């Protein structure tokens, strides 16, 4: 049984999702949280991960560690996105299994689903068609993680579950324009343009693709829901169940930031998947639902960006 005294290891505890999970668990009174920085434990190193599990004996593992980035980063570094993500999750899942970790929560991404799958995306659409080429390397790695957890569940009866979030955003996000996702990149672009006399902002693509966004604290709440309950299936979508166009998103962010210049759409640049909306009915039926609306979440995120503008996270890819 999971209790407030259970030893819970959060891999990736300094990232946007991991840090939100850590904050919420601490607030709820969980007292034995374990987190190591990447210079203390390289999750790509199988022997080091195995030794960490043998010594520390966590009872629960939450895998919020991954090499992440947007279209540009995925296209530029396909090998790293495939290999490093597989190394990280394989080492964690295998060490957890070998050390009798009873509960493992694996976090993935909605990009595991086929590019042209019917909307909204249901869990059973996994592996029914081909992936979006601009992020298939990351998606393939995450699919193997989902399948590894399913295999352990099937073969050994352990409570290993995978949560697939929609597009996440929030405090502690990455605002580096070379590696960030669309929402934080827009916050950064509109802010910089506002500071530059409300100069025009160029946004990739046509503005027509539809996207769904979930505030990171809601994602953390879904992880804690999975921690405190035994979920009957191995794979669950986590999102809001509603979406909006990239154009609507840009206009919302522009308004929140207070930028009054023009928006220019660079239609030479790729749009990515036309629509990615999650079917979140399975989580809703179990009793979890998001609580933060998009405007409120972006407002909080922009405030955090302003508070941390001198030292926010810049991701370097080697």
Q: Which residues line the annotated binding site for substrate?
A: 189, 204, 211, 271
> Which stretch of DSSP H or E encloses residue 244?
strand 244-245
Give the number of other CB atoms < 10 A from CB of residue 141.
Answer: 24
Q: Residue 49 in contact with residue 63, Cβ under 8 Å?
A: no
Concerning whether 113 is annotated as a catalytic residue, the answer is: no
Alpha-carbon 156 to chain mean position: 27
Q: Give the torsion sign (CA, 8, 9, 11, 13).
A: positive
Residue in 77, 138, 169, 302 annotated catalytic: 138
Sorted by sequence, the CB contacts under 8 Å of residue 154 that are 6+ apart come out as none
Comparing CA positions, the residue from 249, 261, 257 lying closest to residue 302 is 257
Comparing CA positions, the residue from 184, 203, 314 lying closest to residue 257 is 184
Alpha helix stretches (DSSP H) within 28-172: 46-56, 71-76, 78-98, 136-156
Binding residues for NADP(+): 12-18, 107-110, 142, 165-168, 181
Binding residues: 12-18, 107-110, 142, 165-168, 181, 189, 204, 211, 271
Comparing CA positions, the residue from 265, 241, 239 lying closest to residue 251 is 265
Residues annotated as catalytic are 138
């Amino acid at each position: 049984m999971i209790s407030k005294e259970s030893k819970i290891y959060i891999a990736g505890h300094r990232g946007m999702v991991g840090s939100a999970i850590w904050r919420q668990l601490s607030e709820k009174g969980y007292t034995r949280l374990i987190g190591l920085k990447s210079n203390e434990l390289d999750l790509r190193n199988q022997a080091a991960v195995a030794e960490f599990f043998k010594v520390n004996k966590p009872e629960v593992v939450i895998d919020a560690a991954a090499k992440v980035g947007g279209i540009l980063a995925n296209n530029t570094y396909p090998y790293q996105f495939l290999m490093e993500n597989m190394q990280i999750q394989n080492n964690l899942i295998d060490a957890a299994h070998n050390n009798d970790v009873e509960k493992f929560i694996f976090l993935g991404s909605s990009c595991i689903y086929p590019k042209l799958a019917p909307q909204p995306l249901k869990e059973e659409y996994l592996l029914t068609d081909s992936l979006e080429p601009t992020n298939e390397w990351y998606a393939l790695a995450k699919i193997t993680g989902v399948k590894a957890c399913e295999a352990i569940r099937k073969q050994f009866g352990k409570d290993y579950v995978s949560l697939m979030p929609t597009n996440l955003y929030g405090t502690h996000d990455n605002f580096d324009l070379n590696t960030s996702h669309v929402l934080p990149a827009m916050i950064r672009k509109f802010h910089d343009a506002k500071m530059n006399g409300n100069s025009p902002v160029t946004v990739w693509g046509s503005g027509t693709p539809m996207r769904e966004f979930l505030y990171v604290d809601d994602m953390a709440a879904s992880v804690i829901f999975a921690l405190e309950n035994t979920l009957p299936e191995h794979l669950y979508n986590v999102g809001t169940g509603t979406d909006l166009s990239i154009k609507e998103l840009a206009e919302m962010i522009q308004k929140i930031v207070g930028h009054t210049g023009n928006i220019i759409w660079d239609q030479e640049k790729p749009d990515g998947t036309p629509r990615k909306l999650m079917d979140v009915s399975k989580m809703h039926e179990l009793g979890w639902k998001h609580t933060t609306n998009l405007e409120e979440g972006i407002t909080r995120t922009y405030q955090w960006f302003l508070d941390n503008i001198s030292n926010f996270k810049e991701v370097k890819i080697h």
